[in-house]
Amino acid sequence: MKEASAVGSIRVMKFGGSSLASPAQRTAAANRVLAVQKDGERVVIVVSAMGRRPDPYATDTLLELAPDADAGPNRDLLAASGEIVSAAVFAATLERCGARARALTGWQAGILTDGAHGDAHVLHVERTTIDELLSSGVTPVICGFQGADRNGTITTLGRGGSDLTAVAIARALGGAALDIYTDVDGVMTADPRRVPAAQTIPNLTFEEVTELSQHGATVMHDKAADLARIAHLPYTVLSLNSGAGTKVGATDAPQPAGPVTGVTASFGFTFMHLVPDAAVLPGGWEQDAFRVLAEANISIDCVNVNSAGLFFIVRDAEVKRAQERLTALPLAVRTRPDCAKISVVGAGMRGTPGVMYACVRAL
């Protein structure tokens, strides 16, 4: 669960929504906190909204109350309310179990962000309030996923942003120990909900987790994984039911026996094929297509350019906008919906022959 630490050191414990979904789970999480404190460590807690859709206080459920709200301060205020409820409830649970606790919103905890509503970046964590509470023997219970800009306007950090909150706070506290509690026993070789035989990976490098998260593994927010990598901040991914979980750190961690570390699957993509009108478009038309999509802030992936045209995948939610923007160019747009992206990750794949063949054969 946790490594031995010096008495009086700080441990940040982040609990995901599935770890706080019921009174029994909240009590189990509180007991984990008390056990760490009994060992002499001071604890800072970061929480996500409780549960998942259709649970009443899950973020997606709350956003359904205003489905047409545009990204902005109103939508961010609504989205942030789930974590506020969660922090207050979990602080009460801790006090019922015998600890002293104080719920804090992201901005009360000193989290300063830019003004990008719905996908804000953490600029700074002012740790004064956290330090004052710890010095007085009170456990801070901080709302993840949220902060405020320089004008005091509430912002949110994007889906899975509570992980980013936890990493940013651990970094601000001078490299505090960090535990990320989720609904699986650690980082797995594949999604256990789809691959029952998936196994927990005991050790991973910063780079491997960053790549896995960027390719769709939901166990860790991709920006959080990248910030931990940049800050050289080791952390552990585990569940309330697991033992050691997955320890993430420097490249000297024990490596898997084979070249492949894990496999991720991302769904909800459409395959797009752009065919130019050779009689109209000059050479280099691909740059025009890329420019049009970039100006619309549409992200594409798995790009391939050859004599048959330009191929890529795009999120289903972006297909209509992409088609509308591409009509400005003299080309045909062909689509194939209901696609998935399979990513194979492993530091040992480079220079190892036969990996791609094995992947294609499995598909």
φ and ψ at 129, to 5 degrees?
A: -65, -40
The lowest-confidence range among 54-68, 134-148, 240-254 is 240-254
The lowest-confidence range among 3-12, 103-112, 147-156, 291-300 is 3-12
**Exposure of 52 by Cβ count < 10 A (0-12 exposed, 13-18 middle, 19+ buried)?**
middle
Nearest CA among 259, 267, 270, 212 for reference residue 357: 259
Q: Looking at the 3D structure of the chain, how many domains does it have? A: 2
Tell me which residue range forms the domain holding 281. 263-345
Residue 104 banded pLDDT, cuts 50, 70, 90: very high
On whether both 161 and 22 belong to a single domain, the answer is: yes
Q: Does the global pTM surpass 0.75?
A: yes
On whether both 28 and 128 belong to a single domain, the answer is: yes
CATH number of the domain to which 271 belongs: 3.30.2130.10
Residue 310 forms part of a structural domain: yes
Residue 32 forms part of a structural domain: yes
Residue 103 forms part of a structural domain: yes
Mean pLDDT over each residue of the chain, to the nearest integer: 90
On whether both 28 and 167 belong to a single domain, the answer is: yes
Residue 351 banded pLDDT, cuts 50, 70, 90: low
Residue 217 forms part of a structural domain: no
pLDDT tens digit string along 31-44? 999 999 999 999 99
Residue 132 banded pLDDT, cuts 50, 70, 90: very high
Which residues neighbour 269 within 8 Å (Cβ) at sequence distance 6 or greater? 301, 313, 314, 315, 316, 339, 340, 341
